[in-house]
Structure 1
Amino acid sequence: LGTRDATNGFCLFSDDPIEKDLEHYLEPLAKLCDVISKWETALREKGSGKFENSRVIQLSYKNRLYWKHTIKCETDKERLLLCYQTNSQIVQGRFPLSRELALELASLMSQIDMGDYSLEKSRDVGVGLKGLDKFYPYRYRDALGAEQLKDVQELLVSKWMLLKGRSTLDCVRIYLTCCRKWPYFGACLFQAKPRQNPESNAASGATPVAWLAVAEDALNVLELSTMAPVARYPYSSVMTFGGCQDDFMLVVSHDDGGGCEQKLLFAMSKPKILEVTLLIADYMNALGHTVPGTPQMNSLTRNGSHRSLRTSQRPTLGGGSAVATGFSTNATTTAHNTLNSHATHTLNSNHSHTLSSSHHAGGGSQPGT
């Protein structure tokens, strides 16, 4: 593939056989034949009840853990993959940019994806629309009338023509240099509804939906529409995190000398709760932080390469809610993900911290999706 080993932060993901916009992170040690078998079983049992030969599993290879200090070590293929992954976020409205910048980036992606705008391409009247469909944000395109759409197509083509002769590597370099100026580039974004104001424990009435941006060193809360930062919680301040009934819970300490702790709750779907928890734990393990609720609290163990689950030793809050990485089935999905059914999730770590989850037809992961 032209990529580094698993330490590059890229992983395989599979689609969900039932949920359209759900993806599942595949553990590096998972057997592909087992993954396919479980996917087909889930499709048959949760879907129509019969085998569908018209559908097959879809696998994608993309970045899950992004490290800013490894930029210089990236291979050309990894940078190209990052371009397409970032473009997907831009198209879906998960990246803050103006209409003008969106057109510039769409023209770069057109050059990367389709090459020089040639005389042959000019005969295809739909080539500009194809570029908009693949590389221009939905929210900007959907607001256009027929004439406006035509004008934007012409603008895209004109910018694309100016890139004639530019190599793929050159366009990738320009594209990533521009996108990396956003402080949260590479972070995995999740929509969540805070149960209270992220900056205080006081209830604030109807709280709007926000973004949770899981980055290499902190969990960030961003405003939904502008994606402006609202709050930042470094992993060094995190006391507890994970599923708490139907919410994602984060308990942080404030370094003010008073020993004050703050509990935050975010309403999310159960597959996303599990995904956020796994992702944060992986980042903390890689950074050498002690993951709350791990071996020091006798919650989870690792014996060599064998993964074990000590259900009776999971730390819990009052009422039996799941806490931190002692993740109980309360915080996993009971929906359609049988790809990791009865599995344990092990964190890649040199510090022997593990995160396990026994979930019956449950659990899920993505980037970000």
Structure 2
Amino acid sequence: ENASMASYCESVLDRSLKLGGREEAPSRLEVNSILTRDPTSTKFPYSISVRLPTGEYQVVEFDGSTEVGQCLSSLCLKLGMRPALLSGYSIYIDDPSTKQMQLLKGKQKICDCLSQWEKRQRDGHRGRIPSERTAALILRQRHYWRHLESSETPIEKRFLVARMGEEMREGRAPLSPQLADHLLSLYAQYTFGDASDEVKDDQYEFLINRFYPLKMLEVTAERILRSTLHSNWRELNGSDEMECARVILQVLRKWPLFGCQLFEATDRLASNRSVFIALHDTSIHILDRKHLSVLRSIPYGRLHSFGDFQNDFMITLERILSPDAHPEETTKERITYSMVASTIQEVNVLLSFLSFVDFSLLLLASLTFAIPGLLSDEGAYRKLMAYVLNYVYPVNLTMQTCSIWTMVMITTERWFAVCRPLQVRMWCTPRKSRIAILFIFVSSIAYNFVRFFEYSIGYDEWGNITYERHLRDPSAYPLYTVGYFTVSYLITHFLLPFTILAIFNGHVIVTMWRMRRARLNLTRQVTHSSLGGPFDL
């Protein structure tokens, strides 16, 4: 037994060294699991239930080094789903302080997430955690990729049917009363099978509380609704579960914004109008919260920035000015929305670094080129240039290299956002941006380190300090002058980066043009639509 425990501790230590240590102390779940069961009998000593969109639960097992992304991958494999990147599902945890669901990031340790949950729970209950209170993990769809619907698995369709039932109940899908009645009967056949002679009270309560819009329920007579449900339900007798799911999704997918995540917001610039911000594959749509009509569409290609601004959510986008616009009129348009703080995000790592590099470049360039030109005394000029060429000039060129390749990184990130949206979550993360910045900075220093030996400080025949050419002397070092100073500089600072910029920006322009055509087609569909019939948008 001691040997088994020693082997277990060794394997746990090896995994911790390989995958990284913990950030939080052990949670109550970990302690109870170790005390009540033998950790050496299984590879993963801890387990917790994850609530599925259908209301069912699936148990996942893990250890102290297991990441959320690994749990999500094993969960998708167990359930018969596509990988999370394609299916769009993520794991959420309930936040005891805000009573909302909080997204768990893929690189977080799941044990750390449970410890943080317990810490917030103690803060709200005077240092105690009720024995019956446990963390609730929920599998939810974070993104919906409309162009990948043909590869959906049967379990994903079941989850989507359950999710759309909640969306309908909360009024997040445009339904006419007739369509709502027909969908209710489809959900009845999907849930309970063939109809009996009458609708039972428990069946009726379950259906209207799960799949019928609350606003319609307030103005609908129960007797009429029950009678309509029963008559429509009987017409569906003999339909199996998958057939009902197929019809439900086929009807709901007629809405162009089907599957979009809708975030409640208040438009600050439009008399505090209540709106939904819908995240689509190709653009952001602003919807009227009452009628779910599209008020505005913002293609991702025009999106300049977004994030927190004085406890509000601000979107900055590029706009096209008319020919008769005022010369000082800006091309930037800012839209401010009041939103829940947990939905506001900001990612500005690359732009912050670029601002720092450009400021340093301008400051050092003034010391290198501007200030020496103000000196009229030849001796003072040569003395200043001796120190500038030895210490300031190499740093200036290092910052120039950083600036050029940071622009390449920003263009690459924009290319991923526009042309490869499915890979954005994998490659365009703050952590990877910091790694890229560190790599650019270190590489720039390594490339320009030899610049410190191009000049040296010497003395003229009168004993005054001056600068002397060292590596920059073409007669003494011709290979350095031709190979490094000329050819290598042209390739690394002009030919290679500008070729990458031209290719990526050209691809972005073509993709944005295609998205614009798709948006115009969508706008025509919405403009010429009528809400009188089911999903005739």
TM-score, length-normalised on structure 2? 0.49
* Whole-angstrom CA distance in 1 between matches of 2:215 and 2:175: 11
Which structure is higher in RCO with an 8 Å CA cutoff and minimum separation 6? 1
> Do the aligned partners of 1:214 and 1:220 also contact (CA within 8 Å) in 2?
yes
What corresponds to 1:128 in structure 2?
A: 204
Contact 1:79 1:172 in 2 (8 A): yes
The Cα shift of 1:6 comes to 1.5
Residue 72 of structure 1, aligned match among 137, 145, 150: 150
Q: Give runs of aligned pairs for residues 76-155 of structure 1, distance below 5 A.
A: 76-118=154-196, 122=198, 124-144=200-220, 148-155=221-228
- Counterpart in the other structure of 2:336: 265
Counterpart residue type for residue 175 of structure 1:
I
Match of residue 10, structure 1, among 89, 98, 115: 89
C-alpha distance in 1, partners of 2:237/2:226?
17
| The one of 282, 295, 298 aligned to 2:350 | 295
For the 8 Å contact 1:294–1:353, the answer to whether it is kept is: no
Q: Which residue identity does 1:187 align to in structure 2?
A: C
Q: In the alignment, which residue of structure 2 is the partner of 1:353?
A: 428
User: Are the aligned partners of 1:44 and 1:50 in contact in 2 as well (CA < 8 Å)?
Assistant: yes
What are the equivalent positions in structure 2 for 1:135-284 lying under 5 Å apart?
135-144=211-220, 148-197=221-270, 206-256=271-321, 260-274=331-345
Cα distance, 1:18–1:150 mapped onto 2, change above 3 Å? farther
Q: Does the CA-based 8 Å contact 1:110-1:135 persist in structure 2?
A: no
Shift of 1:264: 0.8
- Give the 3 Å change call, closer, same or farther, for CA 188–130 of structure 1 in structure 2: same
Residue of structure 1 equivalent to 2:108 = 30
Superposition RMSD in Å: 2.4
Aligned-partner residue type, residue 354 of structure 1: T
- 1:9–1:65 contact (8 Å) kept in structure 2: yes
Per-residue CA deviations over 1:159-181 (Å, capped at 9, x if unaligned) read 22222221111111111111111
Contact 2:93 2:104 in 1 (8 A): yes
Secondary structure, counterpart of 1:56 in structure 2: coil
Residues 128 and 248 of structure 1: CA distance in aligned 2, closer, same or farther (over 3 Å): same
Q: Is the 8 A contact 1:116 1:165 kept in 2?
A: yes
**Which of the numbers 41, 60, 74 marks the counterpart of 2:119?**
41
Paired letter, 1:253: E
One-letter identity of the residue aligned with 2:296: A
Change (3 A) 1:150 1:194: same
Residue identity opposite 1:295 in structure 2: L
Distance 1:37 1:117, change over 3 A: farther
Cα distance between partner residues in 2 of 1:348 and 1:42? 33
Shift of 1:100: 1.3
CA distance in 2, matches of 1:351, 1:4: 16
User: Does the aligned pair in 2 maintain the 1:241–1:251 contact within 8 Å?
Assistant: yes
Native 8 Å contact 1:44 1:51 kept in 2: yes
Counterpart contact for 2:92–2:139, Cα < 8 Å: yes
Q: Deviations for 1:18-61, whole angstroms, at most 9, x for unmatched residues?
A: 333x1111223333332222222211212353111222222222
- The residue identity in structure 2 corresponding to 1:272 is T
Distance 1:162 1:216, change over 3 A: same
Quote the Cα distance in structure 2 between the aligned partners of 1:251 and 1:213.
16
Task: Report % sequence identity.
Answer: 28
Q: Distance in 2 between matches of 1:89 and 1:123?
A: 24
Higher helix share: 2
User: Is the 8 Å Cα contact of residues 222 and 231 (structure 1) preserved in structure 2?
Assistant: yes
Between the aligned partners of 2:126 and 2:235, the Cα distance in structure 1 is: 51
After superposition, the Cα gap between the structure-2 partners of 1:241 and 1:37, relative to the gap in structure 1 and judged at 3 Å, is: same
Q: Partners of 1:353 and 1:236 in 2: how far apart?
A: 16
1:296-311 aligned within 5 A: 297-298=352-353
How many angstroms apart in 1 are the aligned matches of 2:318 and 2:169?
37
User: CA offsets, 1:166-203, max 9 Å, x none?
Assistant: 11111111111111111111111111111214xxxxxx
Q: Distance in 2 between matches of 1:125 and 1:190?
A: 34
Gaps of 5+ in 2: 1-78, 324-329, 356-421, 432-537
The letter of the residue matching 2:178 is E
* Contact 2:199–2:230 (CA under 8 A) maintained in structure 1: no
Cα distance, 1:135 vs structure 2: 1.0
Letter matched to residue 82 of structure 1: L
Amino acid in structure 2 at the alignment position of 1:14: I
Which residue number in structure 1 is paired with residue 138 of structure 2?
60
The separation in 2 between residues aligned to 1:128 and 1:157, in whole angstroms, is 10
SS at 1:249's partner residue? Answer: strand
Q: Deviations over 1:197-255 (max 9, x none)?
A: 4xxxxxxxx23111111112111111120011111111100111111111101111024
**Hey, what's the Cα distance between the residues in 2 that align with 1:299 and 1:50?**
47
> Are the counterparts in 2 of residues 293 and 299 from structure 1 also a CA contact under 8 Å?
no
Work out the number of aligned pairs and report it. 280
Output one character per residue of 1:283-318: Cα deviation in whole Å (capped at 9) or x when no partner: xxxxxxxxx734355279xxxxxxxxxxxxxxxxxx
| 1:94 counterpart SS class | coil
